[in-house]
Amino acid sequence: MLVGAGPAHSAVHDVAWVIAKTSTRRFFVLLAVATFVVIVAASALAAVAAARNAAATDKARDRGLRVAESVTRFRIHLGLADAELATVLVTERAETPFNRSRYEAELLDASLSLTDAGLAATGRNADDIGTLAAGLVRYAGLVETARQYPIGTTFHDLARDEVREVLVPTADRVRRAAEGQVEAAAGDRTTRWAVVAIGGLVLALVVLVVVVVLVAGRTHVRLHLLLVAALVGLVVELTLVGPGLWSQRNRLEAAGDDEIAAFTAANAAATGLFDLRTVQTTAVAARGGGEADFERFDAAAEALADGLAASGARTAGLRTLRPAVAAYVDSADDVAGLAAEDRHREAVAATVDGGSAIAYRTARRLAVSTVNRSTRDLGVRLDAAADDGVAWPVPLGLGTAVAVLAAGGVLRRGWDYL
């Protein structure tokens, strides 16, 4: 399209010559190369951001979340299985068929949970899950051996030591590492890529507009079909890629502020509660010699209460769990008082069937419900973030095509001068 005489054309023409005071041949070549490089670089950056976000989201959802959830379920079932052994030790009564069937069912569920975790774990987590599997086999073997001996023998202690010294700390380490993978997905290293990529595409669009102006000012044609197509293509690329990356960034940031924090807090509260119960039953089973264990219980209970106070505002489940845990701790303090007064039978009754047992079961039910709810909410958020993502070939393919059109348009306009 020919440029007519007028102030607008004169202004553009003057700007073009002021910005690029060089030979016409070099002007068009440099302009084409610069345009191509800028658009391809911005599109490649968007493709990298899309690929990184997709990898981080998949890692958080399919590895971190799955491993953390499975290991927490392992802790739940292991705690219930060990509770059956603790009941035998505390009451000093022979194991009933009902107790044994419950123990075996929980042990099987614990093993299945480890299998689920092992299918998703990698690296150090995979090695630790192997350690957990071997430890669970040792624990089951020690329990089976203990059944052949009187209650309270060394094999019972060895079985529970395996839980306290190997299974519990290893499971907690795996869970925290898996939660770290989930947290990393919503970290700055992931979300800032979306901002940089969108900024790069906007910059590329500005550069292309400037190029169109410079070409129009250096020649006698306002617009060229290839340059117009390049402008339209870059706008389409920004429209397709920008909102997806930005929405994905917002969802990941929101997950980091809400769902991920609630998920980790719920897991920590639940496992802390399970540990409290193990310490309490160990103290009661000691028959007057559990003062140190009751002191450990008090320290752990205080730490759990502080943790709930710090994170309880994150979800309604954690707020509800806090008074339930406090009620259980109070009931355990009553048991400690009975034990200190050498009222062992009453302490046993309260621990196994009485108020302390009821308070613990109530708190445990709320803890498990909170874990399940927080896991589901986090999974929904990560699914939504994954759905908002853009496949990396989209910006790379569109960007390359736009860059070719833009460079071709510049060179085509400068053909007569080359």
Q: What is the pLDDT of residues 368-397, one digit of tens each?
A: 999 999 999 999 988 888 888 888 889 999
Nearest residue to 284 (alpha-carbon basis) of 297, 271, 272:
297
Does residue 164 form part of some domain? yes
- Token pair 């621990």 is at which residue? 351
pLDDT for 131? 94
Residue with more model confidence, 386 or 42: 42
* 317 in Cβ contact with 363 (< 8 Å): no
Instruction: Kindly report, residue by residue over 229-252, the tens digit of the pLDDT.
Output: 999 999 999 998 888 888 888 888
Does residue 5 form part of some domain? no
Residues in Cβ contact with 290 at an 8 Å cutoff, skipping those fewer than 6 apart: 282, 283, 284, 339
SS3 221: strand
SS3 257: helix
Buried b (16+ CB within 10 A) or exposed e, 121-160: beeebeebbeebbebbeebbebbeebeeeebeeebbebbb
Share of the chain above pLDDT 70, in %: 89
Number of H helices, E strands in the chain: 15, 0
Nearest residue to 181 (alpha-carbon basis) of 117, 103, 277:
117
Q: 409: domain range?
A: 23-417
Mean pLDDT of 1-13: 47
Query: How many structural domains does the chain have?
Result: 1
* 259 in Cβ contact with 378 (< 8 Å): yes
Does residue 2 form part of some domain? no
Structure letter (DSSP) for residue 2: B
Does residue 375 form part of some domain? yes
* 301 in Cβ contact with 329 (< 8 Å): yes
Asked which of 57-61, 215-219, 381-385, 387-391 is least confident by mean pLDDT, the reply is 215-219
Does residue 219 form part of some domain? yes
Residue with more model confidence, 188 or 6: 188
Residue with more model confidence, 390 or 7: 390
For residue 202, the Cα-to-chain-centroid distance in whole angstroms is 31
Does residue 95 form part of some domain? yes
CA distance 242 to 46: 9
* Separation in Å, CA 64 to CA 96, 174, 270, 340, 410: 39, 10, 18, 44, 49
Buried b (16+ CB within 10 A) or exposed e, 16-54: beeebeeeeeebbbebbeebbebbbebbbbbbbbbbbbb
Does residue 141 form part of some domain? yes
Does residue 112 form part of some domain? yes
Instruction: Kindly report, residue by residue over 287-296, the tens digit of the pLDDT.
Output: 766 788 888 9
* Separation in Å, CA 1 to CA 219, 224, 236: 10, 8, 24
